[in-house]
Structure 1
Amino acid sequence: MKISFHGHSVILVEANGTRILFDPFINGNPATDLKVEEVKADVIIVTHGHNDHLGDTVELAKKNNALVIGTAELADYLGAKGINTHGLHIGGGYNFEFGRVKLTQAFHGSGYVNEKNEIVYLGMPAGVLLTINGKTIYHAGDTGLFSDMKLIGDRNQIDVAFLPIGDNFTMGPDDAAYAAELLQAKKVVPIHYDTFPLLKQNPQAFVSMLPTGMGVVLKVGQSIEL
């Protein structure tokens, strides 16, 4: 299984011939190496409805005939646009052909600014547990620190956790380091930083707060194998 980082919170998982793309914020993302017209995805998982996470989901889903997974409200919103969706909700999971997806809580917001500059409420934000071939990936989405991360870690053997460290809108490095302690993932990769000036962080400094060998900084386009 290959997992690659593409700036901000964009993660691509490739396993068993299926390409699973998280939070495809590409157009308008100065930190990504992807181009919408070149991206191939079979499944798109969206953690919440903010523009920098919902991103190019509609165009990519239509172009690739991809399945989009998210909260029920988000799935209903996208389904009305002709997208093939599967709605879940916090604590709920489903066994797909490619693997299992389960949503966890996240403490944040979720809304989309449409072409009329109106804010559309898109349900609760979420984190995601993706399990494929006996390996579990945790994408925390946008969230602050919360104590139930310990429960997530206790109940799941997490192989790699993607945690936001940008501060201002999400956890900063100190809280994310404590989150890593609660989750006890084998590997922790920082995301949601340096995209914009407000999110400027030093990922190596974050990794230095973690136990030796736990933290992994991925440059844009880099990948790890599970």
Structure 2
Amino acid sequence: MDFTYYGHSCFSVVLGGKKILFDPFITGNELAASINIGSIEADYIFVSHGHADHTLDCITLAQSTGAQVVCSWEIHEWLNKKGVPNTHPMNTGGKWHFDFGTVKCVVAQHSSGLPDGSYGGNPMGFIFITDEINFYYSGDTALTLDMQLIPMFAEIDLAILPIGDNFTMGIEDASEATKMIQTKKVIGVHFDTFGFIKIDHQKAIELFRSKGLELILPEIGETINTP
């Protein structure tokens, strides 16, 4: 699976020949100034919750790419009103079979207000179960015992977790989440973008390593091929 990082919690993966973008927030991120959103292609856009740092470029990219947006019911309605008709609403506990594999929505402990102040529905995480890889993207979340359920749904090869603290899990909690998920490899997101979430990269990597875990901190614009 090719994983490309666009900064903050925005990334894309290629699965089954489909390009899947997550939580598009690029133009509002000073650290991602080198990214040209006009060059981004997507067949699907997955949105974990409504906050602007996860939805800012969703409408623009959905319209320019024609991608189907997968999101909560409330975000689906909001996007439809904003001129994005190609949406697929989901909610926590549900799953759907897409042409690249199966996605199950799971609990994320966070909040979810949309940029205009309206309600964004339940924040969600996503488990992707595919022929190539099984991975879990938690979205913005606190450490929660609900993560113990994830290995019941799939054997997870890779987890993509927020690690910046203050608004989400920090490094210590993310390492505990990794053990609950029963995986060994994590790609960290939701760090360094703002002063509230700056981290010590080496300290974070070493903490994970001390627990027998691997933490990858991608550079913005970097593509990683990972099983």
Scaled by the length of structure 1, what TM-score is found? 0.92
- Does 2:79 align with 1:78? yes
Give the Å deviation of 1:85: 0.3
Rounded Cα–Cα distance in structure 1 between residues aligned with 2:151 and 2:218: 22
Q: Which residue of 2 aligns with 1:135?
A: 133
Matched with 1:184 is 182
Instruction: Single out whichever of 152-161 and 203-212 deviates more from structure 2.
Output: 203-212
Shift of 1:134: 4.4
Offset of 1:73 from its aligned partner?
1.2
More displaced stretch, 209-218 vs 98-107: 209-218
**Per-residue displacement from partner, 1:17-58 (whole Å, max 9, x unpaired)?**
211000010111123242222211110000000000012010
CA displacement 1:91-119 (0-9 Å, x = unmatched) = 101001122121110011111223xxxx1
For 1:35 and 1:137, locate their aligned partners in 2 and report how far apart those are by CA, in whole Å: 27
2:110 corresponds to 1:112? no
Q: CA deviation at 1:214?
A: 2.6
Counterpart position of 1:94: 96
In the alignment, which residue of structure 1 is the partner of 2:52?
Answer: 51
Query: Post-superposition shift, 1:137?
Result: 1.5
2-structure distance, mates of 1:109, 1:26: 21
Compute the TM-score of the two structures, normalised by the length of structure 2: 0.92
Q: State the one-letter code of the partner of 1:112.
A: L
* Aligned amino acid, residue 103 of structure 2: V
Alignment-derived partner of residue 9 in structure 1: 9
Secondary structure of the equivalent of 1:113? coil
- Percent pairwise identity: 39
Aligned partners of 2:169 and 2:58: how far apart in 1?
25
Does residue 31 in structure 1 map to residue 31 in structure 2? yes
1:90–1:104 CA contact under 8 A, matched in 2: yes
2: CA distance, partners of 1:151 / 1:72: 23
Aligned to 2:196: 198
Q: CA deviation at 1:179?
A: 0.7
| Structure 1 residues without counterparts, runs of 5 or longer | none
Contact 2:178 2:184 in 1 (8 A): no
Work out whether residues 204 and 217 of structure 1, in 8 Å CA contact, stay in contact via their aligned partners in 2: no
Distance 1:162 1:65 in 2: 25
DSSP-derived class of the 1:77 partner:
helix
Matching residue's letter, 2:9: S
Q: Tell me, in whole angstroms, the C-alpha distance in 2 between the residues paired with 1:190 and 1:198.
A: 16
Contact preservation (8 Å) 1:24, 1:54: yes
> Matched residue pairs, number?
222
CA 203–131 in structure 1, closer or farther in 2 if over 3 Å, else same? farther
Structure 2 contact 160–189 (Cα < 8 Å) conserved: yes
